[in-house]
């Protein structure tokens, strides 16, 4: 049975950053386990630019961004195993994994970092009525087919959902010669970044139908067309508003789900909103010495923030190995107030913060000219003015340690209030 200081499950952007940071902080034996045939995770199929603006102050494509971390991992001689499926993580941090070369392996770790990323919601999860022809797939699958395998998935396309992958695939399909008939979104606002709506839809004159959804898929062997209907405020189709589109492909961009089967098997506490583990200021889950970062924790829109969060997880995993369990005498719990759907981290031990802690959150709705207010118990400790907030763009606010020191706060609440209030 092999012994390691830190084992990272997942070799995508989160796992790579966590492994490198743990090694830099003085941990000797680090192992990365990746189930795909190469490192880099989802970035390998994201060939568009826009990555690295925060981290490297330049525009990179997904593979370029990943390669910087892969090169550093190899320079530092950090061990990694590809085509390796982790089957189970036990409470005493034994990692059970399997691959063709080594067979069934059990690795012992002093600390584990969960960085499994997320997966796409499928057609089955959203119950679209209609037939079951070929040509209905998730936007991420289509992206892999086109960018990595070299297959064109269709000629006339309707995209359901306006998440970032759907918007990027609308542009990609257009550039490859397909006609994107429409991007259809059930909510009254888009789920993607504003820059993607402009660069992927407006620049290519692709219509975005808000408050609409697909109510029928037609076709026998292959998709032949879809019916799109307007929806009311309860997201129910309005009779008489049907529009028919002829198409041979339907792409779904209807949300991402953190890949947490291993976390649940381990028995860590889970957040019902993010569908990821509960974590403290060190990115440690409710299982001692098990840390989580990246999309397995909550779905990010920028990989730069994934890297930053994962470096924190790697740094604290190293501290856990070298120094043992951190004291947690004064714990403040974070809470999502009015207009906020969740906050990360879920709890903060003031003595473990270096100088400041970043709170990440997502707004529930689109807001213009509002304030983000952080209250500790009933005392306002921080406010930030926001011109524009939308659910498609993650927000963050920095809380300095000095604001929390020498106080006996129990909860931190983040909420949205109108400027006038």
Q: What is residue 418's predicted lDDT score, i.e. its pLDDT?
A: 86
Q: Are 21 and 310 in contact (CB under 8 A)?
A: yes
Distance, CA of 204 to CA of 170 (rounded, Å): 9
Domains of the chain as residue ranges with CATH = 1-120+255-325 (3.50.50.60), 122-254 (3.50.50.60), 327-421 (2.60.40)
3-state secondary structure 128-173: CCCCCCECEEEHHHHHHHHHHHCCCCCCEEEEECCCHHHHHHHHHH
pLDDT value of position 295: 97
Q: pLDDT tens digits for 120-144?
A: 998 887 888 888 999 999 999 999 9
What's the average pLDDT block by block, 10 residues per block, for the chain (421 residues)? 94 98 96 97 95 95 97 97 97 96 96 96 84 94 96 97 94 96 94 90 96 95 97 94 97 94 96 95 95 96 95 96 82 94 94 89 93 92 92 91 88 89 58
Tell me what pLDDT residue 419 has: 76
- Nearest residue to 112 via CA among 305, 318, 257, 309: 318
Residues sharing a CB contact under 8 Å with residue 72, sequence separation 6 or more, in sequence order: 20
Give the pLDDT score at 421: 58
- What is the distance between the alpha carbons of residues 97 and 395, in angstroms, rounded to a whole number? 36
DSSP state of 378: T
Residue 268: both structure tokens together: 């860590």
Question: How remote is the C-alpha of 51 from its chain's centroid?
Answer: 14
pLDDT at position 129? 85
Collect all residues with Cβ–Cβ distance below 8 Å to 406 and sequence separation of at least 6.
none
CA dist., res. 329 & res. 327, Å (int)? 6
CB of 69 within 8 A of CB of 17? yes
């Amino acid at each position: 049975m092999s012994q390691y200081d830190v084992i990272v499950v997942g070799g995508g952007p989160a796992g790579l950053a966590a492994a490198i940071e743990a090694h830099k902080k003085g941990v000797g034996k680090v192992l990365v386990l990746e189930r795909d045939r190469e490192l880099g995770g989802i970035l390998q199929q994201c060939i568009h630019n826009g990555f690295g603006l925060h981290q490297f102050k330049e525009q990179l494509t997904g593979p370029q961004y990943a390669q910087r971390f892969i090169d550093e991992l190899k320079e530092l001689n950090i061990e990694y195993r590809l085509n390796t499926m982790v089957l189970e993580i036990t409470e005493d941090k034994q990692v059970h994994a399997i691959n063709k070369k080594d067979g069934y392996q059990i690795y012992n770790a002093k600390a584990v970092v969960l960085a499994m990323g997320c997966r796409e919601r499928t057609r089955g999860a959203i119950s679209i009525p209609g037939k079951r022809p070929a040509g209905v797939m998730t936007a991420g699958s289509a992206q892999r087919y086109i960018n990595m395998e070299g297959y064109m998935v269709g000629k006339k396309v309707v995209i359901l959902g306006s998440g970032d992958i759907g918007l990027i695939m609308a542009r990609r399909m257009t550039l490859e010669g397909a006609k994107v008939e429409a991007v259809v979104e059930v909510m009254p606002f888009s789920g993607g970044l504003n820059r993607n709506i402009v660069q992927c839809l407006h620049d290519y004159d692709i219509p975005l139908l808000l408050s609409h959804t697909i109510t029928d898929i037609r076709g026998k062997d292959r998709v032949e067309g879809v019916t799109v209907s307007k929806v009311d405020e309860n997201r129910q189709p309005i009779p008489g508003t049907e529009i028919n589109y002829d198409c041979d492909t339907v792409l779904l961009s209807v949300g991402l789900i953190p890949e947490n089967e291993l976390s649940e098997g381990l028995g860590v506490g889970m957040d019902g909103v993010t569908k990821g583990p509960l974590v403290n200021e060190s990115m440690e889950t409710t299982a001692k010495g098990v840390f989580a970062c990246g999309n397995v924790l909550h779905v990010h829109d920028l990989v730069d923030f994934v890297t930053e969060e994962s470096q924190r997880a790697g740094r604290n995993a190293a501290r856990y190995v070298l120094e043992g369990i951190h004291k947690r005498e004064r714990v403040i719990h974070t809470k999502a107030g009015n207009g906020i759907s969740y906050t990360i981290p879920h709890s903060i031990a003031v003595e473990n913060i270096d100088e400041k802690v970043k709170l990440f959150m997502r707004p529930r709705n689109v807001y213009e000219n509002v304030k983000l207010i952080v209250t500790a118990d009933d005392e306002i400790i921080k406010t930030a003015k926001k011109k524009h907030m939308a659910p498609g763009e993650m927000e963050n606010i920095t809380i300095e340690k000095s604001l929390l020191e020498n106080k006996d706060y129990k909860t931190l609440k983040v909420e949205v209030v109108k400027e006038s209030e």
